[in-house]
Amino acid sequence: MKRFLMMLFVLVMVVSFSVISVTAQTKDKIGEIKIKKGEPIHIACWFVIAGPDASLGTDTKRGVEIAAEDKGGKLLGHPIKLSFQDTGCNAEGGQAAATKLAADPTIVAAIGSNCSSEAKPGAPILWKAGIATVSPSNTAPYLTDPKRGPEYDGYLRTCHNDKVQGAVAAEFAIKQLKVKKAATIHDGSVYAEQLAAVFAETFKKLGGTITAQEAVAPTDTDMRPVLTKIATGKPEFIYYPIFIAAGGHITRQVKEVKGLEKVALMGADGIFSPDFYKAAGETAIGMYHSSPDFSAFAGGYKSFLEKHQKKYGEKPLAPFHAHAYDAAMMVFAAIEKVAKKGSDGSLTIGRQALRDALYATKNMKGLTGNISCDKYGDCADPKIGVYKTTADNVKKLVMPDKPIWKP
């Protein structure tokens, strides 16, 4: 009898150990989120939804909202809960927003940020808390650079890398406008500084001369001193990939500076918005913008625009609404892939597993093209065009919908 009991004890211990081993192996290494039956799946968005650059955040917010509606407002039988945190389009705002999100254990994943200067401090804070984030509009090369560091391992984006956009802008200036001398202006943000640098590097490689690489502050209002300095180099073209407030002041003042009366002007996607037309007025007529090529988006984009018009009563306000839609759909698909259903109607989602599923995204048919992520988080199918602002655009406060040039 003792021998039997001993064998039984050993058998129970072996089975128990096996169960413990299996359980340990299935536990996510950085943590799990348990969602009870009927509770929502919480997706947090950190966007700039106040201040002069709010159109960028409102535009992407709407893209996420339409994506959630297209899923019927539910994932795996659970309601989708969207929350929005303002980021201010600056490093301080990004850090503050990410810190608030990181303190909320109900957040499954994040979508954002908008401005690259927000993501640089914010993305590592989120990933330290185990929250992966997918940005629809951070375009600075630094964020997916192989040397960026492991603190960005939870960061991905569905928008283009500015290595692409900056090169396209330079090619347009050289090949289409036939200019030989150009100047650049940035505002100190990681987005503007790196985009201007890529433009300058490519412009020089194509045989052009960069006459000046200047900087302004986002809060500057009198741009005449820096423009007067630029005028001494006699550029034919100025590329200023900055944001709405400062961009509006430059555009209004540049033709007042002697020697710059006929200079060609070009901004980027950061000021490709009806709000910029409000800021710059008629002085924006004739200028160029580098931005995503809407005409190259997938067939579903037309339907998206119809839903947008019906829901919000207007056309999109900035260039990244479709990228936000794709970012949301990418997050939804990853959750559906890794979530484990409990017999009680609950869901268990591993944070590392979710991050890995996002990075494993391949050949997802998005509005912006074929979404496939590399090991550094670049997932876009980048298509950049160059647009020219007309008097009608400024009068009606609508962006051009077709590029005048593409590579």
Least confident of 4-8, 65-69, 248-252, 375-379: 4-8
The pLDDT of residue 368 is above 50? yes
In the block, which residue shows the tokens 């966007």?
47
The Cα–Cα gap between 202 and 321 comes to 28
The Cα–Cα gap between 182 and 371 comes to 34
* The CA-based dihedral angle spanning residues 321, 324, 330, 335, taken in that order and rounded to the nearest 10 degrees: -130
User: Tokens standing for 7?
Assistant: 């064998």
The pLDDT of residue 165 is above 80? yes
The Cα–Cα gap between 108 and 401 comes to 35
Work out the angle between the directed axes of helices 54-70 and 300-312 (0-180°, nearest 10).
110
Return the percentage of the chain with pLDDT > 70, whole number. 94
**What DSSP state is assigned to residue 52?**
T
The Cα–Cα gap between 154 and 123 comes to 7
Q: What is the mean pLDDT of residues 177-201?
A: 97
CATH topology (fold) of 33-161+297-383: Rossmann fold (3.40.50)
Nearest partner of 389 among 294, 297, 277, 293, judged by Cα: 277
The residues near 245 (Cβ < 8 Å, ≥ 6 apart) are 52, 53, 218, 219, 279
Strands 364-366 and 369-371: antiparallel
pLDDT tens per residue across span 91-126: 999 999 999 999 999 999 999 999 999 999 999 999
What is the band of 22 on the pLDDT scale with cuts at 50, 70, 90? very low
User: Tokens standing for 246?
Assistant: 């400062």
Nearest partner of 326 among 67, 59, 82, judged by Cα: 67
**What DSSP state is assigned to residue 174?**
I
Distances (CA, A) of 97 to 44, 90, 121, 202, 322: 10, 11, 10, 35, 23
CATH of 163-294+385-396, one of 1.10.1200.10, 3.40.50.2300, 3.30.70.890, 3.40.50.720: 3.40.50.2300
Domains 33-161+297-383 and 163-294+385-396 share a fold: yes
- Mean residue pLDDT of the chain comes to 93
E strand segments, 177-332: 181-186, 209-215, 237-239, 264-267, 288-292
What is the band of 26 on the pLDDT scale with cuts at 50, 70, 90? low
Q: What is the mean pLDDT of residues 151-177?
A: 97
pLDDT tens per residue across span 214-224: 999 999 999 99
The Cα–Cα gap between 79 and 39 comes to 7
Least confident of 298-302, 353-357, 391-395: 298-302
- Spans of all domains in the chain: 33-161+297-383, 163-294+385-396
Q: What is the predicted pLDDT for the residue at 382?
A: 93
pLDDT tens per residue across span 240-281: 999 999 999 999 999 999 999 999 999 999 999 999 999 999
